[in-house]
Structure 1
Amino acid sequence: MRNNRNSLPERRWFLGLAIVGLVGAAVFIVVMILTSDSSLICPTEPIYGEMPKAQARVQEDYNPTTIQLKAILHYATSRIVPQQSLAEIKISFDVLKSMGRPCNFLVFGLGHDSLMWASLNPGGTTLFLEEDPKWVQTVLKDAPSLRAHTVRYRTRLRDADQLLLSYRSEPACGPEGAHLRDNVECELALHNLPDQVYETEWDLVMIDAPRGYFLDAPGRMAAVYSVAVMARGRKGSGVTHVFLHDVDRRVEKVYAEEFLCRKYLVRGVGRLWHFQIPPSNDSHTSQSFC
């Protein structure tokens, strides 16, 4: 009985801290959305070519006021906060704000932060790629306006070292003329993505999936490689901003240094690295990724 009485204030103290943390996270989302300038809520304009299906849904699903108010309501009433820290989120937020226009934003992973990412890119195209179809249905049940596709990965984390050693001997994996669509020869290539992924030039890419914390998980090897190919193949001007989360893990760090390149690393906070990758025709690395 004594132990129980003594533990009651501790439980109340812990609960109080948890509530403060949740309220703080909600306030952070609200402040970021409401204090962002008008450049984040510009009317949608075609970016690097027409995307009829995506543009047709902008008014219905991505009305700036609607998507931002949904995010505010969601995070203000939820006990679940985004996976990334405030400092990590702010890196991506600052880039989105600096672009001065709606962006093409590709996110590997669908989760509790997805509504936030979409709300920070109003009028733009934010697309999520997720490995678990059941999880997609769970998330979309509460946020049906989000755009998400299921991805099937061919890789396993246990094979990460072997894939890194062997990809150089496979011509289909090489940096010169590297491609993704229907590239079944290169195990690191995401060859079966929706057409929209291949046909869009992505301004920003967030890699926070698939799972990479147990040996039978897909790991992020194919995601990192494929994003490098996308960025190098960019036809429009400017760089591709790539954000890689969980760089405290060995595989993420090694693959980032092999394909995203240290020389393109512009900032790192916590477990997040931010790269600015130029098109291959703007660099002198046609013989290698780095």
Structure 2
Amino acid sequence: MPPEEPLSYPLNSPLLHILSPKSSLNLTLPQKKSFLKMSLTKRKSILILVFILVIASLIRVLRITITTSYFPNVVSSSMDHDLITTRSNVSDKTLSEKELTFLSDIILQKSPCNLLVFGLEDQYLKLPTINKGGATVFLEDKPEKLMKMKGNGDGVQVFRIRYKTSAKEAYKLLKHARRDSSCSVRRLTSKCKIAVTGFPKEVLKIKWDVIVVDGPGGDGPESPGRMGAIYMAGVLARSGNGTNVVVHDVDRMIEKWFSWEFLSEKNLVSSKGKFWNFKIGQRKKLVSLKRS
């Protein structure tokens, strides 16, 4: 058997080139450059992504700021400021078909009945027909709207009401009503600053079956606001026997807060669109409004 010979390779063997330190350095240097290039690319990508997220966040904050500037604001009591409604609904006073059907169904369930409406929008001109045979009374503060009901027929009356408040005073009036016992919805006195004085005696004496609150205007800080109308509706409803009080525009802060305060959320029985329907049971007999 031939003797074993040690492995030997020529000096120019490819294996030596592979194992040589110089060759190894030539192979790893491009890899290092490639790795460094990838790291820089990733870093740039992260920076770009962060920049995009920052810009998106700024746009979102700007959009929220612009949007919320149109909604009602409740100013802190420490500033003793007013709750105002800054969202304008001047161009959106039309009831949707579902809202009109909702209101009509409530009236039809009790028709013929005693129907009191705060506000005189065009679509409400149909209500006396829906309440045929009943008594329908409209309370409106704008003289030009009062002319719409002239010659409408028997059982319909229209009275002008003057409101001395403004929507910007809502927060202050709400604080007053909460701490002053004269603002109880179980009786009506002129001491309560939120009470609407000068009400027709006919309105105060009637037991109302349905009361609709969609007036006066409440779409700006200088408008009368519906604080007094909702309060009066709450007082009048408690002299009836299961009176339905239907409040419109409850997407606005004043309508929502004053409905909770004087009609009570526990009495809310149904809703549709911007309408809330409260059912209020019979309470103590209404005390006539007297000057102190």
Q: TM-score, normalised by structure 1?
A: 0.62
| Runs of at least 4 residues off by over 4 Å | 141-146
How far did residue 114 of structure 1 move?
Answer: 2.7
Is 1:133 aligned to 2:143, yes or no? yes
How far did residue 186 of structure 1 move?
Answer: 1.1
How far did residue 112 of structure 1 move?
Answer: 0.6
> Do the aligned partners of 1:190 and 1:222 also contact (CA within 8 Å) in 2?
yes
Structure 1, unmatched stretches of 5+, are 1-80, 282-290
- Measure the CA separation in 1 of the matches of 2:153 and 2:185: 38
Tell me which of 113, 118, 123 is aligned to 2:128: 118
**Which residue of 2 is the match for residue 267 of structure 1?**
270
Tell me which structure has the larger Cα radius of gyration.
2
- Measure the CA separation in 1 of the matches of 2:184 and 2:106: 30
Q: How does 1:85-234 map to 2 (within 5 A)?
A: 85-99=96-110, 101-137=111-147, 139-140=148-149, 143=152, 146-176=156-186, 178-179=187-188, 183-234=189-240
Structure 2, unmatched stretches of 5+, are 1-91, 285-292
Deviations 1:90-127 (A, max 9, x none): 2222222222x410000011121232111100010000
Tell me which of 254, 257, 261 is aligned to 2:260: 257
Task: Kindly provide the amino acid, as one letter, of the partner of residue 248 in structure 2.
Answer: H
Q: What SS does the aligned partner of 1:230 have? A: helix
> Do the aligned partners of 1:105 and 1:204 also contact (CA within 8 Å) in 2?
yes
- Measure the CA separation in 2 of the matches of 1:136 and 1:98: 27
**Which residue of 2 is the match for residue 245 of structure 1?**
248
Deviations 1:49-68 (A, max 9, x none): xxxxxxxxxxxxxxxxxxxx
Task: Kindly provide the amino acid, as one letter, of the partner of residue 239 in structure 2.
Answer: G
Identity value in percent:
34
- Measure the CA separation in 2 of the matches of 1:273 and 1:90: 14
Task: Kindly provide the amino acid, as one letter, of the partner of residue 149 in structure 2.
Answer: L
How far did residue 195 of structure 1 move?
Answer: 1.0
Q: TM-score, normalised by structure 2?
A: 0.62
Q: What SS does the aligned partner of 1:263 have? A: helix
> Do the aligned partners of 1:248 and 1:271 also contact (CA within 8 Å) in 2?
yes
Calculate the aligned-residue CA RMSD, in Å. 2.2
